[in-house]
Amino acid sequence: MAQKPPAGMLRALAESGSRFEQARQRYTYTRHFRFHEMDRQGRPSGSYDEVREVLFSPEGERIEQFVGRPHDRLKHIRLTEEDFRDLREVQPFVLTEDTLWRYELRFKGLEDIEGGSCFVFRLQPRQVLEGQRVLDGMIWVSREHEQIVKVAGKPLPQIHRSDHQNLFPQFATIYDEVDEGLWFPVKTVASDVLPFRTGGQAVKYTIDYENYQRFRAESTVTFGDELPDSPP
């Protein structure tokens, strides 16, 4: 029989997740998003590429700013407001005291990933309220560190309407200790076939979270023109 996780682990994870989320709000970092449409031979046929810096204005307001211009060469898919919202809220998933109530978590067993033993939990939203973006998937919790080291699943809701479909691929996010005692997302990868009514569309993407730096109010930052939240 698989060893069970310690009593109270989920509550402790949510408490530490709240601390990590608050701490991450005090860090600047770079997010590089690369998205590819794939043809039937598994080769890229269209792409979208953007780099954003997540930083602070001189007034201390947290903002996102493009590094250069995004390159949109997609042919069959249009990235939507929900896709860009998921970049901020779902792929860098954090289980916090504010979000724990939204999910049902069931212990599934133990699994070794990259040499470390993990408790694995199935994570399902209790309900999907209008305007929410949530995750349906799995989380891996390191037995050594008692921290989430991997998350995998699909964003919800997947949108199916008579005149419109907005579908989101399966992804996995890896976390690491980027500063002493602080575990942040470092990479997201996705590979899936989206079942559109007009035919399945294979897609792949990666998100790299890099150059985490703790923001200090006395720092001086020079800004170019601030760009909109998503490309026109």
**pTM, full prediction:** 0.88
Query: What does the pLDDT look like over 98-143, one tens digit per residue?
Result: 999 999 999 999 999 986 999 999 999 999 988 889 999 999 999 9
DSSP state of 227: P
Looking at per-residue pLDDT, the higher value among 171 and 225 belongs to 171
- What is the DSSP secondary-structure string of 51-110? EEEEEE-TTS-EEEEESS--EE--SS----HHHHHHHHHTTT----TTTGGGEEEEEEEE
Residue 32 to residues 16, 140, 229, Cα–Cα distance (Å): 26, 24, 15
- With 80 as the cut, is the pLDDT of residue 225 above it? no
φ, ψ of residue 29 to 5 degrees: the values are -165, 170
Reading the block at residue 155, the tokens are 């964003």
